[in-house]
């Protein structure tokens, strides 16, 4: 009697793995898009998802939590999303390859389910952070949707038990952790090259910085604790000490120039030993950081030691003849902010309103400019009339012409006592504590300055 031929094994289902492969690719593509948008934000541009104060990706990406992730892991949150997506693609591809070769697909199936679980946990964490900020990130919502669909397919569309069985954990973790680690390492170089969110007050000693940031806006700031140049220098890390040494060398070598025009608005006394003149653009992130840091310096500077003059250099050819005009006829946000700031120069709350404009940078549009600029002592009709006045346009052109004398390459442009310097808050604060003396004895503890070619520079928001 002949033996019955063995029944061939049922083919391993692959539709679920194919769906997961597509979802992994979509998640990866969305993560790349978000990363590129983050780079746009860091360069001073605006994003498609920065719609309003409450619907704004940039606010989430610049949050303390997102900054902590980037600082700790070396990769922004968008990069972590890309790591997750690439791991999903790799495990899905392994599943399909093993199914075709007749090998067991359990390590890949288990890994995909564990990856889905990690994705759900991440969604809970990130969504909680967004909720606490009171902001919705549309592209983040897209990522959440893809991850949730991925989770449903991974748990219902793959064969076998939901969790790894005895003896399966080794291979499961080997492939899952291995692929995730490879993707993470691949993202480290672009992650470290991605600019971090600027943190105002990072240059100040911890006690002083914390005190300034916890002040209620309605409460007059308490007198800062006494500061000395020696104590300030002792609080700086080695890289900032080196940068300060380089910046001081540039300051000493520069030839001071006489002011081309008298200041139209000045914080502090005209005879202060440290006179700061700065040109900014309302959408430039480095300008925002400078404005925030100067606000803190003004709180901590000894009385009479600092004066600040603010001028405009909007990076838009519509109101800046130094830049080609490629924009629409309607007044752009950069030009509106520059004109509004000029119109506020005589107001008692000029500096407060200017800081509010920069604080709203992530969601700043022309309506927001008008809302903020008219929220103080200048009524909106008066502001609107001023913004179209020939005198205002003339003042703005004067600012541009003044900046062009220094061959401006980007914003912010900063002069200290008539000398062009890097937009460095530690340099300005150190000179304030030194009463404007760049050769104060305390500076002798700094490391030797590097040559100009090797010194770390400032990445401003360059204009065309």
Which domains are assigned to the chain? 15-193 (1.20.1440), 206-462 (3.40.30.10)
- pLDDT for the residue 277: 97
Model pLDDT for residues 227-256, shown as the tens digit of each residue? 799 999 998 888 889 999 999 999 999 999
Average pLDDT over residues 104-113: 94
Asked if the model's pLDDT at residue 219 lies above 90, the reply is: no
Contacts of 401 (CB under 8 A, 6+ apart): none
Percent over 90 (pLDDT), the chain = 66
pLDDT bracket for residue 367 (50, 70, 90): very high
- pLDDT for the residue 462: 45
- pLDDT for the residue 409: 84
Residue 17, token pair as written in the block? 């793995």
Model pLDDT for residues 76-95, shown as the tens digit of each residue? 999 999 999 999 999 999 99
Q: How far apart are CA 142 and CA 170, in angstroms?
A: 33
- pLDDT for the residue 410: 84
- pLDDT for the residue 452: 66
Asked if the model's pLDDT at residue 338 lies above 60, the reply is: yes
Average pLDDT over residues 184-209: 74
The CA distances from residue 301 to 47, 82, 155, 375, in Å, are: 36, 44, 60, 28
Model pLDDT for residues 36-65, shown as the tens digit of each residue? 999 887 766 667 887 776 788 888 888 888
The CA distances from residue 381 to 202, 343, 388, 411, in Å, are: 39, 12, 11, 30
pTM of the model: 0.68
Q: Which residue has the higher pLDDT, 416 or 136?
A: 416
Average pLDDT over residues 358-386: 93
């Amino acid at each position: 009697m002949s033996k019955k031929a063995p029944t061939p094994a049922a083919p391993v289902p692959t539709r679920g793995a194919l769906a997961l492969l597509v979802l992994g690719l979509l998640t990866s593509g969305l993560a790349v898009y978000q990363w590129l948008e983050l780079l746009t934000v860091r360069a001073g541009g605006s994003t498609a998802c920065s719609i309003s104060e409450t619907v704004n990706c940039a606010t989430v990406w610049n949050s303390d939590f997102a900054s902590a992730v980037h600082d700790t892991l070396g990769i922004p949150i968008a990069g972590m999303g890309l790591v997750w997506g690439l791991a999903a693609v790799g495990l899905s591809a392994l599943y399909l390859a093993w199914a075709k070769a007749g090998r067991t697909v359990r390590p890949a199936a288990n890994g995909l389910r564990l990856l889905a679980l990690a994705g759900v946990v991440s969604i809970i964490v990130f969504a909680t952070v967004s909720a606490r900020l009171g902001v919705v990130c549309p592209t983040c919502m897209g990522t959440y949707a893809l991850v949730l669909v991925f989770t449903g397919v991974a748990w219902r569309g793959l064969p076998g038990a939901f969790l790894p069985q005895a003896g399966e954990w080794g291979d499961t973790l080997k492939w899952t952790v291995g692929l995730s680690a490879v993707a993470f390492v691949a993202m480290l170089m672009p992650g470290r090259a991605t600019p971090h969110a600027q943190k105002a007050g990072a240059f100040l000693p911890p006690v002083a910085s914390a005190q300034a940031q916890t002040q209620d806006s309605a409460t007059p700031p308490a007198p800062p604790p006494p500061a000395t140049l020696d104590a300030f220098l002792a609080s700086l890390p080695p890289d900032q000490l080196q940068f300060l040494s380089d910046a001081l060398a540039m300051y000493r070598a520069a030839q001071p120039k006489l002011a081309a025009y008298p200041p139209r608005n000045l914080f502090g006394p005209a005879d202060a030993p440290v006179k700061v003149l700065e040109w900014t653009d309302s959408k430039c992130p480095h300008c925002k950081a400078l404005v925030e840091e100067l606000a803190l310096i003004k709180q901590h500077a000894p009385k009479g030691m600092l004066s600040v003059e603010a001028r405009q250099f909007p990076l838009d050819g519509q109101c800046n003849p130094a830049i080609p005009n490629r924009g629409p006829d309607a007044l752009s946000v950069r030009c509106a902010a520059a004109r509004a700031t000029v119109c506020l120069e005589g107001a008692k709350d000029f500096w407060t309103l200017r800081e509010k404009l920069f604080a709203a940078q992530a969601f700043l549009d022309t309506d927001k400019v008008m809302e903020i600029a008219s929220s103080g002592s200048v009524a909106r009709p008066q502001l609107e009339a001023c913004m179209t006045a020939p005198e205002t346009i003339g003042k703005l052109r004067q600012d541009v012409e003044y900046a062009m004398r220094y061959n401006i390459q980007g914003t912010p442009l900063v002069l200290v006592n008539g000398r062009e310097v890097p937009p460095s808050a530690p340099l300005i604060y150190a000179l304030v504590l030194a009463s404007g003396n760049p050769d104060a004895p305390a500076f002798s503890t700094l490391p030797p300055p590097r040559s100009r070619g090797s010194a770390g520079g400032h990445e401003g928001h360059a204009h065309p």
